Each structure stands twice: as structure tokens, then as C-alpha cells.
Amino acid sequence: MLSASLTRRGFLGVSVGALATVALASCAPAATWVQPDGTPVKDAERRRGGTGKVTTATLAAAPLVLDLAGKTAATWAFGSTPAPVIRLGAGDTLQATVRNQLDTDTSVHWHGIALRNDMDGVPPVTQEPVGAGAAFDYEFIVPDPGTYWFHPHVGVQLDRGLYGALIVEDPNEPLAYDDEWVIILDDWLDGVTATPDQVLEELSAGMGDMGGMDDMFMRMGNTLMGATSDLLGGDAGDVYYPLYLINGKPVDDPTQFTGKPGDRVRLRIINAGSDTAFRLAVGGHGLTITHSDGFPVTPVEVDSILIGMGERYDATITLGDGAFPLIAQAEGKRARGFAVIRTAAAATAPAADVSIPELSSSRVGTAQLLAADSRAALSSRQPDRSIAIALTGGMADYDWGIDGRRFDMTQPLDAAHEIREGERVRLTITNDTEMWHPFHLHGHTYQHQDDGPRKDTSIILPKQTLTVDFDADNPGLWIAHCHNIYHAETGMTTVIGYRS
Ligand code: C2O
Ligand code: CU
């Protein structure tokens, strides 16, 4: 029976499958992997067709000093943090010139977009890094409407100010709303307490066996002990951030959205953080989740939404009359990001430390509550291939990896997982660690089984397994990794590659 043999393969996949792939990778000529600039990639782009309409953007990565409510932070950014929103229609072409005015390599990755592989921005897998002083022209069709974002894919640059929203409009938008607000959440330390590279060094030194001390909530250098969350199944995060930003603004200088009472507003919420999940809620308002990672879901009413790093949710709210707090609780970290929604000029602004019942409500929006809308659901089909992936490692030795090995950026195809164009692929991802991870696959939007939402980034709790299916319709070499940038950079990364 097909399903029985698939299940068996799934169970054996971790050890036997991994060995088989290594053998193939080292004996077979490299040409059997579809190359990022190969013919199958060009053919796939040709099949996308597109509208022919072109939107251009220039992103200059450069040093910038931010004023964060009186604290100055020397960081790197694309002119501002966040960068101006890039907006275009589904099927349009984005031409983005990235100029590197930093003194180190960089790149730009277009998170969540099913784009041509050679434009995915992942050195050394899909391109050479953009060197200091150099430029790179990205050009690709954006096939699917939704809420996306962009950030570098070099080192731990994600934890600086180099990010922005990429909004792909649906020319036949079925959702009715009066206004829209793009909300980017971020955990911030760059130029205030440390640089991300210093944090990585500190974490990489390892915590050793902290013996019992993890019961204590405290800061040690740039690490945070005892940050725990039931929603995240234990350890919530390990990096101490002095600030949490919403659209680049800290709690003491909040960003404000101005609207009209009764208006239905579409919130496009993006977690650009590096080590923080946010629980977002609006005082006095319920939220209707309409999209997960860009794709429509059957609408669900909630009081708050849990958003891991790299995830996006769209939700609508119907504005009340007054001034209301939007709070992005840094889950488990006893701190928050804060913004204001105002519909009455005279209303007193809420205090930044206001407590709202929505944040303690049990109606928390997570992917588990969601089902793909019929427009987004995959066709029903048995998988042609199953790949088991284990998330491994831990804090003590800071040896985060996949299937027990740390990703080697210099040999990215060692231990790569093989798929073929046209297959329905099932990924079974098991979290073998003591901490939650936001797992992210490039170039594809999978569907949670059974009948769950379409997503490209998913929270996986400790000791839990997530099963997702996707159609292998975008040839190339795609990385999959934890979107905790410190975990990804230390080794919780792998490649899922097409063979031809
Ligand atoms: Cu947000 Cu590898 O990506
Ligand atoms: Cu992780």
C-alpha cells in the first residue's frame, strides 16, 4: 500500500535517507543538480509569463544612525528602518538594484516569494555575494499576491536594520477593506547593546550546563536566561534585546495609525525579528485572520496572534472610536513593542505599559487554528516523495543543526535533499531540541497537513512534528532553515535541491 510504504520511508528517512543523499552528492557529477542559472529555472520563469509590467526599486545597503527615542543606534539599513514598502501587482516584474555601501558582503533575499532560483539572494547557493562597493540587479516575476518581505542572507545581517515589506497586490482582490497598515515587528539591539556579530560570538561560546539557573529570568551580557512561554513550549528565546520596534519606532516614540471609526483595516503583520516571537493584540478590538504567509485562509476570529520570526499574518479589524494600543508582546521576554491606532483626534493616547485583556485571552491565533481557503488549498494528491528532517542541537554547545549536522556554507550540497520537478513532496519536520524553531523553506509555499494553511515559515514546538506538502514546481537549489538567525547561522540550515 502506498501510504504504508511512505510512512516507513518517513521513519527510516533520517538515517538511511541522509546517508544515501551524501553518497549521491559526492559521487554524482554536480551537473545533475539543477543549477540556479540552469535551463529548468529559465523555463519555469518563462512559464510564469507575468503581466510584463515592471516596478523598479533601488536598495542601497549603508551605515545609518537611527534615533530611537533619544538613543542613537549605529546600524546598517536601506536608507531607513524599515526600508520604504515595495509594492507591485501579482504577475508583475520587480527590478531591484542592490548597491552595497557596506564594508562587507551582502545580498537580498525575497522572503516567501516563489521566484526564479537565481534571484533568491542566498550566497553561495544561488549567487555570489554582493561584495563591498559592488551592486547586483535582481529581476524576477512575483507570481502570487500577499504580504512578503526582504532582508539580507549573509551572516547575521538580518538582526540589523536591513529589511522592508514587499507587498504583492491582487488585481482581483476578493477581500473588502477600507484601509491598510503594514506592521513590521523587530527585536532591536544593534548599536545599542552590541552588534549581531558580537551576539553570535557570545552565543557560540556556549552556555555549558547552567544547572537550574534557567528558572531565573535574568540578563547575562547579551543573553537572556529564563525567558519561557507556554505557547512556545518552554524556552522562548535566548537573546536580550533592549528595545522592540514597530515600524522602526520604540515604545517611547510609537508609530501611529490614523483612521476613521467603523473602517475595516487590513493589517499586514511581519515579524522581522531574529530571536523573538510576538503576541500581537489591539486593545478593545478583535482580529480576523485572513491570510497566513501571504495566502488566504478561512477567516478566524481571535484576540491575539502569535507570530514567529519570518511569519506574516494578515488580519482585519473594524476600528472603534478613540485611541487604542497595538501591542506586540515579546513572547516570554517580559517586554513589548507598542503602537497607537487613533480615530479621534482628541482622545488621550494609551500609555505604553497599558494592560489589555486581549493579550491574556486564550483565543490566540496560531497556524493550528487555520485552514487554507479553497483558492489556496493544494489539490488532493498522494506524495511522490517524503523527506524527513530533524531539527537538532542545543544551547549548551550552541550546535544547532539539521539531522545532527551543522550546515557547511562552503559545501552547501553535502547532505542536500533531492527532489524532482513535478513531484508532490511531503516534508516531515521533527523538532528534536528543547526549544521552538520557526522553520522556513525558500521558493515554495507548502500546506500544513491535513488541510491546514499555506505557509512558508512555521513554528515547531519542542518534540513536535510538523507535516507539510508542496508541489515541486520551482526548480533550483533552495535552502530551508530555522528563521532564528543565530540558529540558522550556526548550522540549522539545509538544502532541498532539484535534480534533473
Ligand atoms: Cu527570511 Cu532564508 O529567509
Ligand atoms: Cu531555531
d(CA 435, ligand 2 centre) in Å: 7
Contact between 186 and 245 under an 8 Å Cβ cutoff? The reply is yes
442 lines ligand 1 (CB under 6 A): yes
Contact between 216 and 225 under an 8 Å Cβ cutoff? The reply is yes
Q: Which residues, other chains included, contact 137 with Cβ-Cβ below 8 Å and sequence gap of 6+?
A: 95, 96, 97, 98
Q: Which residue matches cell numbers 554524482? A: 28
Q: Which ligand has an atom closest to residue 150 CA?
A: 1
Contact between 388 and 468 under an 8 Å Cβ cutoff? The reply is no
> Which residues keep their CB under 5 angstroms from ion ligand 2?
437, 482, 484, 487
Q: Is the pLDDT of residue 10 over 50?
A: no
d(CA 329, ligand 1 centre) in Å: 23
Q: Is 49 left (phi over 0), alpha (psi -120 to 50) or beta?
A: left
Q: Which helix (H) or strand (E) holds 2?
A: helix 2-12
Rounded Cα distance between 155 and 327, Å, is 30
Rounded Cα distance between 253 and 256, Å, is 9
d(CA 387, ligand 1 centre) in Å: 20
Rounded Cα distance between 188 and 220, Å, is 17
d(CA 309, ligand 2 centre) in Å: 10
Q: What angle do CA 160, 342, 65 make, to 5 degrees?
A: 25
Supply the DSSP string of 440-465, one letter for each residue.
EESS--EEETTT--EESEEEE-TT-E
Supply the DSSP string of 230-265, one letter for each residue.
TTTTEE---B--SEEEETTB-TTS-EEEE--TT-EE
The three-class DSSP label of residue 314 is strand
**Ligand 1 atom closest to Cα of 151?**
1
153 lines ligand 1 (CB under 6 A): yes
In a 13 Å sphere around the CA of 194, the CA atoms on its Cβ side amount to 19
Say if residue 471 is exposed, middle or buried (CB neighbours under 10 Å; 0-12, 13-18, 19+).
Answer: middle
pLDDT category at 213 given cuts 50, 70, 90 is: low
Dihedrals φ, ψ of 392, to 5°?
Answer: -130, 170
**Ligand 1 atom closest to Cα of 112?**
1
What per-residue confidence (pLDDT) applies to 210?
57
Hey, which bits of 142-208 come out as E strands?
A: 146-151, 164-169, 179-188
CB atoms within 10 A of CB 364: 18
481 lines ligand 1 (CB under 6 A): yes
Q: Are strands 312-318 and 287-292 parallel, antiparallel or unpaired?
A: antiparallel
Q: Which residues, other chains included, contact 108 with Cβ-Cβ below 8 Å and sequence gap of 6+?
A: 59, 96, 98, 121, 136, 138, 150, 151, 152, 153
d(CA 437, ligand 2 centre) in Å: 4
**Ligand 1 atom closest to Cα of 457?**
1
What per-residue confidence (pLDDT) applies to 215?
72
pLDDT category at 206 given cuts 50, 70, 90 is: confident
The three-class DSSP label of residue 12 is helix
Q: What is the pTM of this model?
A: 0.93
Q: What domains can be seen in the chain, in order of their start residue?
A: 3-172 (2.60.40.420), 182-369 (2.60.40.420), 385-498 (2.60.40.420)
312 lines ligand 1 (CB under 6 A): no
What per-residue confidence (pLDDT) applies to 437?
98
Tell me the average pLDDT across 254-270: 98
Average pLDDT across the chain, whole number: 93
d(CA 434, ligand 2 centre) in Å: 10
Q: Which ligand has an atom closest to residue 157 CA?
A: 1
The three-class DSSP label of residue 202 is helix
What per-residue confidence (pLDDT) applies to 152?
98
Say if residue 31 is exposed, middle or buried (CB neighbours under 10 Å; 0-12, 13-18, 19+).
Answer: exposed
Tens of pLDDT, residue by residue over 462-487, are 999 999 999 999 999 999 999 999 99
Contact between 486 and 200 under an 8 Å Cβ cutoff? The reply is yes
196 lines ligand 1 (CB under 6 A): no
Tens of pLDDT, residue by residue over 52-96, are 999 999 999 999 999 999 999 999 999 999 999 999 999 999 999
Rounded Cα distance between 97 and 56, Å, is 8
As a whole number of Å, the end-to-end CA separation of the chain is: 28
What per-residue confidence (pLDDT) applies to 1?
30
For the chain, percent of residues with pLDDT exceeding 90: 91
Q: What angle do CA 111, 114, 119 make, to 5 degrees?
A: 70
Rounded Cα distance between 445 and 228, Å, is 29
Amino acid at 458: S
